[in-house]
Structure 1
Amino acid sequence: MDIVINQTFGRIGIDTTPAVINIHNQNADLNIHQEMLKVEIEQKLPQVHIDQYQCFYESGLKSVFDLIHDEAERSYQVGLEAIAKIVDDGNALASIENHQNVIPQLAFEAGVENIDFNVDLMPKSRPKIWFDGYLNINWQKGNVSVNVKPQKPEIYATRANVNIYMLQYPSIKIDYIGQNVDTIV
């Protein structure tokens, strides 16, 4: 007995569409306003003042007015001392009866003069030194204001799709090719 069996396997078909995502993002709107810092600087350049008046005065380097004033005072003092000496000498001579050696003593005092000298440093005073000048800095803070307006992203999405279908259905075909058929069965 000849039997022919033809079998066809089933086949499925799969069509896929991949997912697509498009994202479009716009930049945020950004506004910045700035007020600048203000700085004011006011200055007077420093000046050094040195007053050596007293040092020069003590060294003998006097102004004309100081020299006249000092010499007038010294002359007045010398005049008073001379008057006092004349009065003392006159009083000593007036009382000659009490003092026997008045005239030789007065002659000796007039002939011998005591001179005093001393070593000194000059000037004794220090110069007066002072400074003028200033620096003023005034400032005002600046300001920065920032305004931000965010933009939402635009999202476009296509879903993925899977389509499954029968491309070929399974089948079994059995054929008898022989000439003899057993009918007893």
Structure 2
Amino acid sequence: MNIPRLSIHQTFAQIGIDTQKAQLSIESPRGQLEVKQEAASMDITSPKGELSVDSSAAWSALGKGDHLEWMNQIYSQLQSVALQAIGKIVEDGNRMAMITNPSNSFAEIAANQMNEQNPVEYVGEASNLNVKLNYEMKKPEINITPHQTDIQYTPQKPQISYAPGNIDIYVKQKNSIEINVSSYDWYK
């Protein structure tokens, strides 16, 4: 027996989508910077220092100093020289008065007076510190005049390019229904 057979085949529709991304390109070139700086003006003045030399003590030690100072130096010694001389006279008188002394006092006193040095000092004391040096340094005068800095900056515009994206939508496969009737032999 032949029974008709019904077969249905269905195909679904398919949509295809192709996309292309948008492209953005940005380039920012550097700006131009120009800096001008004049050197600062500098004026330096260095005054000479003052050197003072005091050699009066050295000349006094040589006996060639100021006459008034020399006389005052001698005058200041006279009182002690006079007291020493009076003391020496008393001492010599006491020696001569000693009759019991076996030595010759008069001869010894005379010999001592020949070898005696003058007690008055006519010159000063010799020393390497007699010359006094004094140096007074002067500070340098420094004047600085700064100059302005000239800065020029020229910016550059950024370069921007934009390509928009694209979307393409299409039917990739159409939908369809296929219906077939075929004979089907049940006993075969």
Which bracket does the TM-score occupy, shorter chain normalised? 0.5 to 0.7
One of 54, 61, 64 as aligned partner of 1:62: 64
Hey, what does 2:179 align to over in structure 1?
174
Verify: 1:34 aligned to 2:37, yes or no: yes
Q: Report 1:151-162 matches (<5 A).
A: 151-162=156-167
Hey, what does 1:96 align to over in structure 2?
none
Deviations 1:132-168 (A, max 9, x none): 5441211111321212222221211112222222111
Identity, % of aligned positions:
25
TM-score (norm 1): 0.57
Q: CA deviation at 1:130?
A: 3.3
Q: Which amino acid aligns with 1:11?
A: Q
Hey, what does 1:4 align to over in structure 2?
7
d(CA) in 1 for partners of 2:33, 2:64: 78
d(CA) in 2 for partners of 1:169, 1:128: 120
Q: Is the 8 A contact 1:36 1:143 kept in 2?
A: no
Deviations 1:58-116 (A, max 9, x none): 213426xx5xx56xx89xxxxxxxxxxxxxxxxxxxxxxxxxxxxxxxxxxxxxxxx98
Residue ranges of structure 1 left out of the alignment (5+ in a row): 75-114, 181-185
d(CA) in 2 for partners of 1:172, 1:15: 27
Verify: 1:18 aligned to 2:25, yes or no: no
One of 102, 110, 130 as aligned partner of 2:135: 130
Give the ranges of 4+ consecutive aligned residues of structure 1 lying more than 6 Å apart after TM superposition.
Answer: 122-126
SS of structure 2 residue aligned to 1:21: strand
Q: CA deviation at 1:31?
A: 2.1
TM-score (norm 2): 0.56
Deviations 1:5-29 (A, max 9, x none): 2221211111111111111222212
d(CA) in 2 for partners of 1:44, 1:144: 32
How many pairs were matched up? 135
Cα RMSD between the aligned structures? Answer: 3.6
d(CA) in 1 for partners of 2:10, 2:63: 143
